[in-house]
Amino acid sequence: MTSTVRGKPKSGRTWKDVRTAKHSAMKKDKGLHTAFHIRRKIEEQVKQIRNASLERKKAKDELKRAKRLKEEEKRKRKLENERRSEIVVPHEDS
């Protein structure tokens, strides 16, 4: 392929070759295709992984919720105990 000497391209990209054929005229090959049953197997594995991840997330959220409720109860009891200890019954000596 002998190309004629050309000037500097307007864009400055001297490393780009000049196309001699249209994109639609270039030979195209089919991409890699996996068999249908293999795709279904992969999809099923992805579903299982996604479900397992969702279950772990739900369990973690439930643990967080239980911990938060426990801390709230503890805080309420502590406040109640502090209020109870503030009340001083005067003891009269007779």
* Total domains in the fold of the chain: 1
For residue 76, the model assigns a pLDDT of 97
On whether residue 23 sits in a domain, the answer given is no
H helix intervals, 1-94? 36-86
pLDDT at 4: 67
In a domain, 22, yes or no: no
Global pTM?
0.50
Which tokens hold the place of 14? 């001297």
Q: Please give the residue range of the domain that contains residue 62.
A: 35-84
Q: 65: which 2 tokens?
A: 């919720």
pLDDT digits (tens, 9 = 90+) for 5-54: 667 777 777 777 777 778 888 777 788 888 999 999 999 999 999 999 99
For residue 1, is pLDDT > 60?
no
Give the SS3 label for residue 79. helix
- Alpha-carbon distance of 11 to 90, in angstroms, equals 95
Of residues 25 and 81, the one with the higher pLDDT is 81
Distance of CA 61 to the CA centre of its chain: 16
